[in-house]
Amino acid sequence: MVYSQPHVYATIFALSVLKACALDSYIAAVYEHSVILSEDTKIPVSPEDALMLMNKNMDVLKGAIKAAALQGARIIVTPEDGIYGWVFTRETIYPYLEDIPDPQVNWIPCTDPDRFAPAPVQERLSCMARSNAIYVVANIGDKKPCNSSDPKCPSDGHYQYNTDVVFDSEGKLVARYHKYNLFVTETQFDYPKEPEFVTFNTSFGKFGIFTCADILFHDPAVVLVSKLQVDTVLFPTAWVNTLPLLSASQFHSAWAMGMGINFLSANTRNSSLDMTGSGIYAPNGPRAFHYNTETENGHLLVVELSSHPRLSPTYPIAVNWSSYATSIKRFSPDDRNFSGVIYFDKFTFTELTKPEGNRTVCQKDLCCHLSYRMVEKQEDEVYVLGAFDGLHVVEGEYYLQICTLLKCKSTNLKTCGQPVATAHTSFDTFSLSGTFGTSYIFPEVLLTGVQLAPGEFQVLSDGRLISQNGTSKPILTVTLFGRWYEKDPP
Ligand SMILES: *[C@@H]1O[C@H](CO)[C@@H](O)[C@H](O)[C@H]1NC(C)=O
Ligand SMILES: *[C@@H]1O[C@H](CO)[C@@H](O)[C@H](O)[C@H]1NC(C)=O
Ligand SMILES: *[C@@H]1O[C@H](CO)[C@@H](O)[C@H](O)[C@H]1NC(C)=O
Ligand SMILES: *[C@@H]1O[C@H](CO)[C@@H](O)[C@H](O)[C@H]1NC(C)=O
Ligand SMILES: *[C@@H]1O[C@H](CO)[C@@H](O)[C@H](O)[C@H]1NC(C)=O
Ligand SMILES: *[C@@H]1O[C@H](CO)[C@@H](O)[C@H](O)[C@H]1NC(C)=O
Ligand SMILES: *[C@@H]1O[C@H](CO)[C@@H](O)[C@H](O)[C@H]1NC(C)=O
């Protein structure tokens, strides 16, 4: 192809405009959506009925998208399963699916709806993005026909994928991601053959996308951050809160800090499944979060973030997570340790019997050290220090190294590790560290009422998670949650 002179000028002009418009910060939005569910997901419905239900949900999302745009948001994330809900079979999800093309086709469904028709959901999402001039992130289902030329082709003749899509502010499809780490209950969907590493550039930073259980695994999550150097992760999720260590805001904000990126997490809201907890998290702490135990309503969060957090003066220092813990002697012998279970994993615990002290508890190669002082030791509350070093094997297999200070459910030590959401014991100070073999550590501090503690704790470069001045509310858990990806089974 021969380029004419004007085209070259136009390119140079476009590049300088792009540079001039590059933003140091931008406004981000996430919407926690209370999904309108189908009455019965075990009976197949017609495509018309499926679309009617999806339109009801998109009517709600439309309001949130408009409200976010009016507050200046450049991008909004909506939840996983947010348009049709959950608990489908392969057959009953089918009428909800659309064939979603590779974004390389360069398609604006809003202005060219027939090109890959039928695609009414993509068309409507694209129009919402375009008419509000905002990037829209949504989760829908993709179907891809296959046949006997592919030995893996399912017997019903197509693949079905749990899929995230992104439409830019002109309504163009710019990203399509097929969820790689399906949760065990998602039998309606197929696993993609290979993990997809989906990114896109904007004038307000580089974005990557993955969904729900993906956050526990190396591919694609860690590759997007460590190798592809995205600035912000987009995270549609339908996350069931699992205290004491894996409630949504607690773990997602910790992942943002541990990985050093912005993280936009939109959860679904459903009280009977304990689904709530959405947030906008930065590397140096949560900027906005929402945890709803009061209502079944949705909720919009809108807040400003750095476009390139790695270049920001407040970017956290590099941390050697084992430096302090390997440099000191064990505080106390493991004389009164005992076993307890957190989410199917057998921890070694030691009770904090005194109002202040220095304690160590070990399991396999991991020793966890804690120095602490309580404001006042409560007679009716028991806290323990716990260590776990091993392979988690229920609902997914992944290797963990965890140090945790937590409140037991009751004064009976057998309840240590069980979910509990309230506490009355405040700490003046704490310092938690561990002899970790991995450098992927996610620091969590969770207060009574399942509340985060932005700005109330620090991670030091030697790997200590500390609070010098205490936290604003009593403590549920203080945790260094480590993932040792190299030890995962293949
Ligand atoms: C089988 O599928 C492949 C790719 O999906 C396609 O190219 C081919 O034409 C199909 N063959 C038949 C017999 O439908
Ligand atoms: C994003 O921009 C960077 C350079 O600014 C470039 O290296 C990268 O290939 C771009 N990525 C995409 C997905 O366009
Ligand atoms: C929450 O989800 C359950 C299980 O799918 C469903 O039965 C219930 O109606 C949902 N609650 C609301 C308020 O939608
Ligand atoms: C972290 O600190 C420990 C102890 O000082 C040292 O042995 C190790 O090499 C350090 N790790 C890195 C990656 O610098
Ligand atoms: C307690 O600690 C000792 C010494 O480290 C260890 O051998 C033992 O297995 C631990 N007990 C439990 C229940 O973890
Ligand atoms: C804990 O250890 C520190 C030094 O590591 C010491 O200054 C402090 O007195 C100890 N606290 C208690 C209660 O033993
Ligand atoms: C703790 O309080 C002291 C004195 O009020 C203050 O100088 C220090 O900056 C505070 N530290 C943190 C981490 O907030």
Report the chain's C-alpha Rg in angstroms.
Answer: 24
Report CA 102 to chain centroid distance, whole Å.
24
What's the gap in Å between 212 CA and the centre of ligand 7? 36
pLDDT single digits (tens) 426-463: 999 999 999 999 999 999 999 999 999 999 999 999 99
Question: Domain extents for the chain?
Answer: 23-311, 323-487
Beta-sheet pairing, 366-374 with 299-306: unpaired
pLDDT(400) > 80: yes
Return the pLDDT at 118. Answer: 97
CA-nearest residue, atom 9 of ligand 3: 37
pLDDT above 70 coverage of the chain, percent: 95
Give Cβ neighbours of residue 113 (< 8 Å, ≥ 6 apart).
119, 120, 123
CA-nearest residue, atom 3 of ligand 4: 323
Give the pLDDT band of residue 42 (cuts 50, 70, 90).
very high
Give the pLDDT band of residue 332 (cuts 50, 70, 90).
confident
Return the pLDDT at 18. Answer: 45
Catalytic residues: 80, 179, 212
Q: Which atom of ligand 1 is nearest to the CA of 149?
A: 1
pLDDT(334) > 80: no
CA-nearest residue, atom 7 of ligand 3: 272
Give the pLDDT band of residue 352 (cuts 50, 70, 90).
very high
What's the gap in Å between 149 CA and the centre of ligand 1? 7
Q: Which atom of ligand 3 is nearest to the CA of 37?
A: 14
Residues in the chain: 490
Return the pLDDT at 21. Answer: 61
pLDDT single digits (tens) 292-329: 999 999 999 999 999 999 999 999 999 999 999 999 99
Q: What is the mean pLDDT of residues 361-376?
A: 97
Q: What is the mean pLDDT of residues 71-88?
A: 98
pTM of the model: 0.94
Give domain 23-311's CATH architecture. 4-Layer Sandwich (3.60)
Return the pLDDT at 23. Answer: 84
Q: Which ligand is nearest to the CA of 327?
A: 4
Q: What is the mean pLDDT of residues 277-289?
A: 97
Neighbours of 98 (CB within 10 A): 23
CA dist., res. 435 & res. 422, Å (int): 30
CA dist., res. 484 & res. 344, Å (int): 18
Q: Which atom of ligand 1 is nearest to the CA of 147?
A: 1
What's the gap in Å between 199 CA and the centre of ligand 2? 9
Question: Is the CB of 429 within 6 Å of ligand 7?
Answer: no
Q: Which ligand is nearest to the CA of 460?
A: 7
Q: Which of 13-27, 390-404, 462-476 has the lowest average pLDDT? A: 13-27
What's the gap in Å between 104 CA and the centre of ligand 4? 44
